[in-house]
Structure 1
Amino acid sequence: MTFKESDTRQGSWWPSAALLLAVFLWGSSYAAMKVVVASFGPMPTVWARMVAASILFLILGWRHVVQIRLGKDWKWLLLLFFCQPCMYFLCEGFALNATSSAQAGMISAILPLMVMVGAYVVLHETNTLITWAGCLLSLGGVIWLTLESVPTRAAPNPLLGNLLEVAAMGFAAGYMLLMRRLSGRYSPFVLTGMQCMAGSLFFLPGGLSAVTWQAPVESYVLLVYLGTLVTLGAFGLYNWGISRVPAGRASVFVNLVPVIAVCLGVVVMDETLNTAQMLACALVFAGVLLAQMSPPRTK
């Protein structure tokens, strides 16, 4: 990954602001996605998100499209598209149909730790025992949260939903590692746009399978919000930000996603967490904080 010296040395706040706005949009997407999935179903919702984002990308960046030269990167790009948006949104769409937005958002706290494990396996980055202890502690919190979940109106099948959300985070971790390889050769905006167009094709059968597109106006407003500001906007901001700051610093911002998701789930969606679930959430946060106490070492 390449970093702009003017951003990292002079402490420019623009990359940090971009990352902060990106994670806020991501955090808000769980509650919005929950509403839209209830109206249209998981597959049609994800397809519509991809189409809306692709249309906006083509309007704003059609000149970039005609200049794309894939070269030898097509295999890595296909793998990137497979991880994100294809498998990530496939897992998350069905996850939010089965569990609450608060629980799904809380599980997203393990994403930075998954990236750390992936970096150890793929990039041969080493970490301290404290970092690995934080990883195991956070994973234990996710397992506890899942085991303590009981079916409710907001989470009819929390065990399945939480497991699917864990799988989604695994694919998101793969996407972030691949971004580190490709961001030096393609602009963040182009990568984001190509991901959206690939997702439009992948989820096309799901869009055509929609039983009905009749829904309240609120669902359509949230669908446009998800497709433009969240899918294209948030991923574009994050791709731009992560290309200008170290990956470890960028991963800290992702830890804000579950906080935003849980708060909006409780306040906006009237979702609740029992005492055991709140303790499990605290365990996840403790693990994430512990992992951040010691910086990674590189061989």
Structure 2
Amino acid sequence: MLLYAKLLVSMLIWGGTWVSGRVVAREVTPFSAAFLRYVFASLVLVMVLMRTEKRFRLPARNEILPLFLLGLTGIFLYNTCFFAALHTEEAGRAALISASIPAFVALGDFLFLGARLSPSRLLGIPVSLFGVALILSHFHLATLFTSGSELGMGDVYLLACALSWAAYTILGKRCVECMTPLFSVTWACLFGSLLLLPCALVEGVVTKIPLVSSTAWGNLLFLGVVATGLAFCWYYEALKGIGASRAGVFINLVPVAAIILGVLILGEHVSLSLLVGGATVLFGVFLTNRPQRAPRIRARAAA
């Protein structure tokens, strides 16, 4: 139960990242924003790692490639696309695309990790996706497909976010089988920061730092310290404890959390579609995480 509680809080935190990311993206270019976020995250995680494990261990030779791939997918690719998308896309629409992540995670978990997709999980994924669609469309599902005949660059970036996070989740499942979650997250952030550094320098991050407002700095701290340093560790603990498919489906709660935060912080109206859609999402998560009964084997009567 503690793992599920941490996972739920992580989704609430990540719901807030869409709002914070939108604020930051108005002032800071994508590579620079992602780099600054993970400078904060890396510093915090290194300190926590040294305090927890009493030392700062370098990756072993066989750990370098998996950790580098985590940094490439979950830090470099995801966050660059995240900030690039939020420069043009609204936070609510962006959060909706994130709901496609569990489908990619479950499929990848099945193809690459050999996980079994039970009928309940196969049903839970589309049910939760349908709930998110109800929330953001206010019961008018057709409006989700009428923004234009072609995909805009913001939509492409958001789809890239979903694919990169799915890859990160699947790779992370393998990493936490032989490394601690904290070690994996820390080195993923360090490798991701190294990948982001040259791109941020090309964007002129050094000259732009003095121009960043205090509001944007506050949101970068939230994104780096809380949404990365804390929530990433909890997410990895869940990957190790309950598996990639079950942990990944909780991403469906991120758009719900984003809307709730909008109500609490911005005073937005609580509509019927929010209540019905939120209940649908939770029901889909329940189906996906429903314990599977072992098949009953009838004992043969003694001859």
Does residue 164 of structure 2 align to residue 171 of structure 1? yes
| Equivalent residue number for residue 122 of structure 1 | 112
**Contact 1:135–1:287 under 8 Å retained in 2:** no
Does residue 229 of structure 2 align to residue 220 of structure 1? no
| Equivalent residue number for residue 180 of structure 1 | 173
| CA displacement, residues 35-85 of structure 1 (integer Å, 9 cap, x when unaligned) | 011121222111000101111122332375632342323222222222111
Distance 1:184 1:125, change over 3 A: closer
- 2:196 and 2:22 map into 1 onto residues whose CA distance is 18
Distance 1:127 1:60, change over 3 A: closer
- 1:287 and 1:83 map into 2 onto residues whose CA distance is 30
| Equivalent residue number for residue 232 of structure 1 | 229
Distance 1:113 1:187, change over 3 A: same
Shift of 1:286: 9.7
- 1:231 and 1:294 map into 2 onto residues whose CA distance is 28
- 2:34 and 2:285 map into 1 onto residues whose CA distance is 32
| Equivalent residue number for residue 301 of structure 2 | none
2:58 partner letter: I
- 2:145 and 2:263 map into 1 onto residues whose CA distance is 20
| Equivalent residue number for residue 76 of structure 1 | 66
Which structure 2 segments of 5+ residues have no match? 134-140, 295-303
- 2:182 and 2:42 map into 1 onto residues whose CA distance is 12
Does residue 57 of structure 2 align to residue 67 of structure 1? yes
Does residue 294 of structure 2 align to residue 292 of structure 1? no
Select which of 183, 193, 209 maps to 1:190.
183
1:99 partner letter: E
- 2:142 and 2:155 map into 1 onto residues whose CA distance is 11
**Looking at CA atoms only, which structure, 1 or 2, has the larger radius of gyration?**
2
Aligned residues between the structures:
279
| Equivalent residue number for residue 55 of structure 1 | 43
Distance 1:249 1:129, change over 3 A: closer
Distance 1:76 1:62, change over 3 A: same
- TM-score by length of structure 1 reads 0.77
**Contact 2:250–2:285 under 8 Å retained in 1:** no
Give me the CA root mean square deviation: 3.7
**Contact 1:146–1:158 under 8 Å retained in 2:** no
| Equivalent residue number for residue 43 of structure 1 | 31
**Contact 2:128–2:252 under 8 Å retained in 1:** no
Bigger mean CA offset, 241-250 vs 16-25: 241-250
2:57 partner letter: Q
Select which of 14, 17, 20 maps to 1:26.
14
- TM-score by length of structure 2 reads 0.76
Shift of 1:149: 3.2
Distance 1:16 1:294, change over 3 A: closer
Select which of 151, 161, 169 maps to 2:154.
161
SS in 2 for 1:127: coil
1:292 partner letter: T
Distance 1:51 1:171, change over 3 A: same
Distance 1:137 1:238, change over 3 A: closer
Which structure 1 segments of 5+ residues have no match? 1-12, 151-156
- 1:289 and 1:238 map into 2 onto residues whose CA distance is 16
- 1:51 and 1:39 map into 2 onto residues whose CA distance is 18
| Equivalent residue number for residue 243 of structure 1 | 240
Distance 1:94 1:296, change over 3 A: farther
